[in-house]
Structure 1
Amino acid sequence: MKTVTLLAALLITTAAAQTQTYPDLPTGIKNGVGGLIGNTIYAGLGTAGQKFYALNLSDAAKGWTEVAAFPSAARDQASAAVVNGKLYVFGGLGKPTPEATTSVFNQVHAYDPASNTWQELKTRAPMEIGGGTAVAQGDRILLFGGVNRNIFNGYFSDIAAAGTDKAASDAVALAYFSGRPQDYFFGKEVQSYTPATNTWQSLGTAPFTGRAGAAISLQGDVLTVVSGEIKPGLRTAQAGRATVKDGGVTWSEVPNLPSGANGAVQEGVAGAYTGSSMGAVLVAGGANFPGSTAKFNSGVQYAHQGLTKTWQSDIYALRDGKWSVVGQLPQAQASGISIQRGDEVILVGGEVQGGDASPKVMSITLKGDTVEIKD
């Protein structure tokens, strides 16, 4: 009887493995970057260190393979986008050398899958891009948001100087986290980078508070910016939309992100997955500090002090100018990689409750008033 039971369980497990659409990553990746080139997904950095992996969706059963490693220091929260068959990686946060203090990078690297090689380009991003987002528009890349390099580098330096002295590090944190949102100078500039000419342009400034970790989706000429962090520890439910044409942007309003499925106050999220499906903008997951909005509205600037970071699972859709909750992720998660593939948004890795890096890969596709999830 035990043999039959074990055999049945083995058959069920084998069948599940055979029907898995997207194989797991070789290692959990959070705060990494990636992109789709042809029919192959590339993903790396973050908790993968300098490693990069590739998944050929035409033969996904073969799983992920390791490709050329990133040639510079490992980093978190970089930005990336694909133009003309190459993956461009911008900035991020990390240590230039193992002995150095963490800092914000502004270099640009390009990966060419044809030669399986990386190149550091002879350019620098004009504005900060650590914790920002990038998306391709034709032969150029749009970048939005991110932390202020000077302020963050100062914080990292002061924390390093405090060392193991808890009173000193607490004093640094209190001084740093007690500023107003505008005092952090988070990015609100839409930058444009054109690889073919190695040139940058300023396309304009958003009419709302700068942010990091926002969800960004581009549909043709329409750029939608949703939520994100407006200062360390404090998110916003605000969304905005811009028409991006030629050398400028024209902004318009869209509704704020609504309450989640549980009806709780919408704190906004940072690190959410985003893309588009069937003409709708999808925003999934993300993380926040429940209670921080109420504290901030009562006048407390260090709004997330004493609160618990919480990961979310709600999936929202913006259609015809209205938001709705259209589903739930299998688990609450954030800070993964979003890959747009037709009407499908592929979610690669991420951070789950408690901060662990996930190796899971799945996709979400809008089907009527709900989403279809494939893993």
Structure 2
Amino acid sequence: MKKILVILLLAGGLATATRAQGHWQLIKSTNKVAPRSECSLVVVEGKLYLIGGDGPARPVEAYDPKTDSWAQKAMAPFTMHHLQAVGLGDKVYVLDAFYQGGYPDQVPLPNVYSYDTKKDNWQKLAEIPAERRRGGAGEAVYNGKLYIVCGITHGHRSGTNSMFDCYDPATDKWTSLPDAPHIRDHSMAVVVGDKLYAIGGRNTSLHDADNFMSFFNKVVLDVDCYDFKTGKWSTLDAKLPMGTGGGTAVNLNNKIFYIGGERATDTQPNGPQKDVYCLDPAKDTQWQKVADLNQARNGVGGTVLNGKIYIAGGGGGPGGPPPPNGGKPGANPPPNGPPPGGNEGDIALEVFSLK
């Protein structure tokens, strides 16, 4: 009997030690917001702003956690999707997005745009050099300047790259910087301390002869790091355990959280994922699996507010199927059709807490 008790205690302790940390909770706001995917979620002065999304031009939607409600704001000047918008001061900035053309021939934005949360309007800013325009890139803020890394220049056909650029909103000028070590698109960027991390994504430019959509399993596991102090790139030893394209990434308590996205494998067709991984870049040598999302998501927006991670939107939400034939032989792009993937219900706001 004592041996059995010891075994049970040990098993219970092991389960506690290996249990994924944190938890995700779906938030039922007082009002619903129409679903959207390939969007971005940004915090500005205590409110969440949902920006962009596939389909026609979308209004900005602002969520106030104090009232648990959404408010519709200014309409975007045109479609903006496949972006990681960033907040600085009282504005939201967009340095990369697709705005014209049908899948797989989307065209990237020709200019930087900002949304003023005080005036509730959009402003057209500096022209982006033609050869540096792209969508599906990672964006981040450091010391009052905006940075964009990687992306894809020609929709979902070609042009996956490792380009790295800086936009200074004070001067409205664009500067090219040294390329990252790895090419990737449908990826994210996160700043922790004095370093920027290029994370996740895939190489959408790779198409098999009999399967245009074979890019779904061409994920990038390497994490590249740019040191602002030295101006040099390096690649971490810690690789993502499972890669995805179209995930989101945030900095919570100086730790990087990589969330969701889509992927295919040799045995499974493409589909949205629930996986969430965490890395403390100051000391960790490998990523830690934390609590899964309640709903699998791709093209989801994510941000941090009051010590918690918020995500919203994304394909694969309530009733949202994985892309048709994703990762299967013979899967070719519909001419001028919508991108693969889908979503039903509302934007499904979800929050992660470590406690």
What TM-score comes out, normalization by structure 1 length? 0.70
Q: 1:225 to 1:123 in 2, by over 3 A?
A: same
Tell me, yes or no, if the aligned pair for 2:81 and 2:98 is still in contact at 8 Å.
Answer: yes
Structure 1 distance, partners of 2:351, 2:225, is 26
Tell me, yes or no, if the aligned pair for 2:139 and 2:188 is still in contact at 8 Å.
Answer: no
Q: What RMSD, in angstroms, separates the aligned Cα atoms of the two structures? A: 2.6
What is the match of residue 227 of structure 1? 200
Tell me, yes or no, if the aligned pair for 1:30 and 1:351 is still in contact at 8 Å.
Answer: yes
Partner secondary structure for residue 66 of structure 2: helix
Structure 1 distance, partners of 2:256, 2:306, is 13
- Counterpart selection for 1:35 from 34, 42, 52: 42
1:174-224 residue CA offsets vs partner (Å, 9 max, x unmatched): xxxxxxxxxx4412122111111011222311122x111123321121222
Q: Does 1:129 align with 2:134?
A: yes
Q: Aligned letter for 2:147?
A: L
| Pairwise CA distance, 1:250 | 3.0
| Pairwise CA distance, 1:25 | 4.7
What is the match of residue 279 of structure 1? 254
Partner secondary structure for residue 119 of structure 2: coil
Tell me, yes or no, if the aligned pair for 1:225 and 1:240 is still in contact at 8 Å.
Answer: yes
Structure 2 distance, partners of 1:104, 1:129, is 5
Tell me, yes or no, if the aligned pair for 1:123 and 1:198 is still in contact at 8 Å.
Answer: no
**Deviation >3 Å, runs of 4+:** 19-25
What is the match of residue 85 of structure 2? 80
Q: Does 1:55 align with 2:63?
A: yes
Q: Aligned letter for 2:188?
A: A
What is the match of residue 201 of structure 1? 175
1:326-362 residue CA offsets vs partner (Å, 9 max, x unmatched): 1111121121111122532210111114133351011
Tell me, yes or no, if the aligned pair for 1:92 and 1:104 is still in contact at 8 Å.
Answer: yes
Q: How high is the sequence identity, in percent, across the aligned residues?
A: 19
| Pairwise CA distance, 1:237 | 4.3
Q: Aligned letter for 2:260?
A: G
Tell me, yes or no, if the aligned pair for 1:43 and 1:54 is still in contact at 8 Å.
Answer: yes
What is the match of residue 348 of structure 2? 360
Q: 1:142 to 1:365 in 2, by over 3 A?
A: farther
Q: 1:215 to 1:119 in 2, by over 3 A?
A: closer
What is the match of residue 351 of structure 1? 315
More helix by share: 1
Q: Aligned letter for 2:251?
A: S
1:1-375 matched pairs, under 5 angstroms: 20=27, 25-47=32-54, 49-50=56-57, 51-60=59-68, 63-71=69-77, 73-95=78-100, 102-125=106-129, 127-149=132-154, 152=155, 184-208=158-182, 210-231=183-204, 232-245=215-228, 248-258=231-241, 266=242, 268-291=243-266, 308-319=269-280, 320-352=284-316, 353-354=320-321, 355-357=341-343, 358-367=346-355
Tell me, yes or no, if the aligned pair for 1:277 and 1:365 is still in contact at 8 Å.
Answer: no
Specify every segment of 5 or more residues in structure 2 that has no aligned partner in the other structure, as ranges: 1-25, 205-214, 322-340
Structure 2 distance, partners of 1:273, 1:79, is 8
Structure 1 distance, partners of 2:296, 2:70, is 24
How many residues are matched? Answer: 289
| Pairwise CA distance, 1:48 | 6.7
Structure 1 distance, partners of 2:127, 2:87, is 17
| Pairwise CA distance, 1:88 | 1.0
Tell me, yes or no, if the aligned pair for 1:132 and 1:144 is still in contact at 8 Å.
Answer: yes
What is the match of residue 324 of structure 2? none
User: Please, which moves more after superposition, 276-285 or 308-317?
Assistant: 276-285
| Pairwise CA distance, 1:24 | 6.4
1:76-123 residue CA offsets vs partner (Å, 9 max, x unmatched): 213311122111123322327x9xx74222321111121111111132
Relative contact order, CA 8 A, sep 6+: which one is greater?
Answer: 2
Structure 1 distance, partners of 2:31, 2:53, is 16
| Pairwise CA distance, 1:20 | 4.3
Structure 2 distance, partners of 1:364, 1:233, is 27
Partner secondary structure for residue 233 of structure 1: helix
Q: Aligned letter for 1:363?
A: V
